Amino acid sequence: MAEFRKIGVLTSGGDAPGMNACIKAVVNKALSMGIEVVGVVGGYAGLMNGDLIPLTYQSVNNIVAQGGTMLYSSRCPEFKYEEGVQTAVKTCRENGIDALVCIGGDGTFRGATDMTNHGIPSIGLPGTIDNDITATDNTIGFHTAVETALDLIDCLRDTCESHARLNVVEIMGRDCGQCALYAAIASGAVAVAIPEVPFDEAAALEKIRTLRAQGKRSMIVVVAEGVTNPDGTPYAETLAKRIEAETGVETKFARPAHIVRGGRPVMKDRTLATAMGVKAVELLVEGKSNLVMCEIDSNIVPIDINFALITDRMYKNKLKDGDLDSFTSEQLGKMRTICHRRTEELKSLYKIAMDVSF
Ligand code: F6P
């Protein structure tokens, strides 16, 4: 058992609904174990600047239903450098912070592992709407983002039906099409383009022509933000123009962008956030760190951060020279299994989307 007097909690990177529920879980669990908690304001930038607030039962009262993050967030390029990490460690030492819980995406986990390596035990919790942390089935915020996207698409459907139009909708997700794919299936979209699966534009255009000829009035096409033209510009708008030009179906374009990152978290995100927050505190107290909490087959499972980060790179084909050197063949086998499972799940979901998109 580690003797912690005070832990810090921070949110970093893109915010996600459910982060507040997670903060509340960390605070209440730690306080119930006699551990003080400070909130780091504005992610790693706040840690470098010593921007801290004490957190009590009262400070986290009634935040569980609120979107965004009460601790605010930032992306902090300075923290990628040794000097930034040293400054953050100094803040922890000067303020008696014995350990950290860091809520965010892969950049946040890199920060957590740096802090652990510099003597501040840290645990990462996956908070991002993209659901792009390969080692966990679900990230905090993903389910809410899909529900929000769905609400918006349902609104577009109404007006498309009235006017016999098609609407192309771009849904956030930089490298990952999960939000777009789930929203497409759940909204009955006629086509969906995501970065992970090649998109057959000619087939989509042909399908739209056929469906219109058969009398279908409203149609939705969902495109993930991460699908781009060869010059890097967003594909969604290009596709909208092509659909109208090639099929004659009047086509509108919508980009909800950051709207899908806000709003009240749904039950799944609140409960996942709470379970992960509680487990993170328990593990820190047990003396464990450098872990990321994952949900695997409905269980909360701690995974080594480096293992999770490299599995992510493996899945996203972003491995760098030497990335795999420190892992045993058994660990590499596990990584490949996780990547394979994810790829197969996505492919089978994409097939379902195609099978029913009429
Ligand atoms: O948090 C993930 C994400 O919302 C991505 O889907 C998106 O590409 C990116 O963040 C946008 O980042 P920012 O809020 O910095 O514009």
**Statement to judge: residues 128 and 273 lie in one domain:** yes
The dihedrals phi and psi of 78, each to the nearest 5 degrees, come to: -60, -25
* 314 inside domain: no
221: left (phi over 0), alpha (psi -120 to 50) or beta: beta
* 320 inside domain: no
Is residue 1's pLDDT more than 80? no
Question: pTM higher than 0.75, yes or no?
Answer: yes
**Statement to judge: residues 294 and 252 lie in one domain:** no
Sequence-separated (6 or more) residues with CB below 8 Å from residue 116:
122, 289, 290, 305
What's 58's domain CATH number? 3.40.50.450
* 319 inside domain: no
* 322 inside domain: no
Closest CA to 204 of 234, 249, 162, 161: 249
* 285 inside domain: yes
pLDDT band per the 50, 70, 90 thresholds, residue 107: very high
C-alpha 139 – ligand 1 centre gap (Å): 14
**Statement to judge: residues 156 and 250 lie in one domain:** yes
> What is the mean pLDDT of the segment spanning 307-316?
96
> What is the mean pLDDT of the segment spanning 157-162?
98
**Statement to judge: residues 40 and 89 lie in one domain:** yes
**Statement to judge: residues 132 and 278 lie in one domain:** yes
Sequence-separated (6 or more) residues with CB below 8 Å from residue 150:
183, 186, 187
Catalytic residue among 98, 130, 132, 312: 130
Is residue 247's pLDDT more than 90? yes
Taking CA atoms only, the protein residue closest to ligand 1 atom 11 is 14
Task: Convert the pLDDT of each residue in 184-208 to its tens digit.
Answer: 999 999 999 999 999 999 999 999 9
% pLDDT > 70, the chain: 99
**Statement to judge: residues 42 and 81 lie in one domain:** yes
**Statement to judge: residues 154 and 72 lie in one domain:** no
Tell me the pLDDT of the chain averaged across its residues.
Answer: 96
* Confidence at residue 358, expressed as pLDDT on a 0 to 100 scale: 80
Give dist(CA 338, CA 349) in Å, integer: 17
pLDDT band per the 50, 70, 90 thresholds, residue 3: confident
Is residue 316's pLDDT more than 80? yes
Looking at per-residue pLDDT, the higher value among 77 and 96 belongs to: 96
Is residue 357's pLDDT more than 90? no
C-alpha 160 – ligand 1 centre gap (Å): 28
* Confidence at residue 355, expressed as pLDDT on a 0 to 100 scale: 87
pLDDT band per the 50, 70, 90 thresholds, residue 297: very high
**Statement to judge: residues 291 and 252 lie in one domain:** no
Task: Convert the pLDDT of each residue in 212-243 to its tens digit.
Answer: 999 999 999 999 999 999 999 999 999 999 99
* 225 inside domain: yes
Looking at per-residue pLDDT, the higher value among 290 and 355 belongs to: 290
Cβ contact 179:173 at 8 Å: yes
Cβ contact 123:101 at 8 Å: yes
- CA contacts within 13 A on the Cβ side of 163: 12
* 328 inside domain: no
What's 207's domain CATH number? 3.40.50.460
**Statement to judge: residues 21 and 135 lie in one domain:** yes
**Statement to judge: residues 113 and 256 lie in one domain:** no
**Statement to judge: residues 147 and 119 lie in one domain:** no
CA angle 11-234-177, nearest 5°?
Answer: 55
List alpha helices for the chain, DSSP H.
19-32, 43-49, 82-94, 106-117, 142-163, 178-187, 201-213, 235-247, 267-285, 305-315, 329-356
CA angle 294-298-299, nearest 5°?
Answer: 55
174 Cα nearest atom in ligand 1? 8
Confirm whether 130 is a catalytic residue: yes
Among 174, 181, 260, say which to mutate for ligand 1: greatest number of ligand atoms within 8 Å of CB.
174
Q: How many domains does the chain have?
A: 2
Q: Which run of H or of E encompasses 248?
A: none
Rg (CA), the chain: 22
Strand order from edge to edge, sheet including 6-11? 52-55, 36-40, 6-11, 99-104, 122-126, 291-296, 299-304
**Ligand 1 first shell, C-beta below 6 A:** 14, 75, 128-130, 172-174, 225, 261
**Statement to judge: residues 270 and 244 lie in one domain:** no
Closest CA to 13 of 261, 338, 234, 237: 261
> What is the mean pLDDT of the segment spanning 276-291?
97
* 1 inside domain: no
Task: Convert the pLDDT of each residue in 49-60 to its tens digit.
Answer: 999 999 999 999
Give dist(CA 99, CA 135) in Å, integer: 23
Is residue 321's pLDDT more than 90? yes
Is residue 40's pLDDT more than 90? yes
Task: Print the domain residue range for 282.
Answer: 6-141+265-307
